[in-house]
Structure 1
């Protein structure tokens, strides 16, 4: 299972006098504030990326939600992916950017648990949406004539809800009560790596390689048909 500790064990104070996250409690974490020019530049750069991530994904969400002509199965997947990326830019990136500057956590256990849940759900849902997009493109390329009947807005909405629900369930299985540093037992690292990364990425790579092969085959077929039509047209002109 997953457990949390109240501080980083490897945090080292760079000052001659030890500083603590909570000065009244000497058993709390050692405080490390990084204020060098390089850290300030990195902090500013990551903050700008976070703002851009939030703005651009919010623009995608508003555009697809507002215009009814954009309510297609593929665009619903893009909308779901934008929501997941919005959570990353809104929660994950700011929190981790702040912890790059200050090693302490001041928001309490509940906020820490909620932040961890949101972070893992958004990343899992993002990867799940990319798998769905690969499947959607595979169906569109392999069977374009029946794509509109096989893939509908209602079916895609159900799959999106299922993907987010599975991501939430998977995270809740791993989480347990604690504070703000996440540790996973070594016995579960391999399982989590296979389930949450290797398998989805393998599915995506396999599907896109098949799509690439099908697209090349279809392009050759179209090219041969155009050449045959052109040859017949030239033959008619000669006669």
Structure 2
């Protein structure tokens, strides 16, 4: 190193100099999410925690859709098509504010939206993804069960064919966004193995009682999903 070369000044907020590894677009994404969380989460989250609730979740979801973090790494259908680094930075900032807010975003995008984007038919994608990306539609992801956790091999929720329809029965537990969701991606045992189903939450036989008195993720909607003879068309799979 030249004797005249100077080391960059030490930044106590970034002691390892990681910001130097990021592109300007990455830093812009991070700063946008940090500013949003500072304005819309940090002033209120202590009260949300004490009450064990997340009021105004639909308004928050629309705002998160407005800054492009719902389904952020997905392409098309109103999604941002961002890089994995940018999505990671966004989640880091949300997590720094409150894990419940990060859970709202990651369950919406990385679980419910990703499953539809990756495995759904074009009609399902067109029906659900643009609204989910905008925060106008909230989704949840029904995998975990009361007796077996997130072990698909032990899953008890099942779907049986009835003519051209499917009929779902079972229970899911600890489901983020469940009580406010408009659509649920539900995993079930079938005669052909485990399959995913896109379930509009207004369908008969579907209910999602909220779980209260949690000790963690208190500023988050967490629910049980109850499926009692929920009838779905063939194209829901």
Fold shared per TM-score above 0.5? no
TM-score of the two chains, using structure 1 as the length reference = 0.24
Give the structure with higher Rg (CA): 1
Q: Structure 1 or 2: larger helix share?
A: 1
TM-score scaled by length of structure 2:
0.24
Higher relative contact order (CA 8 A, sep 6+): 1
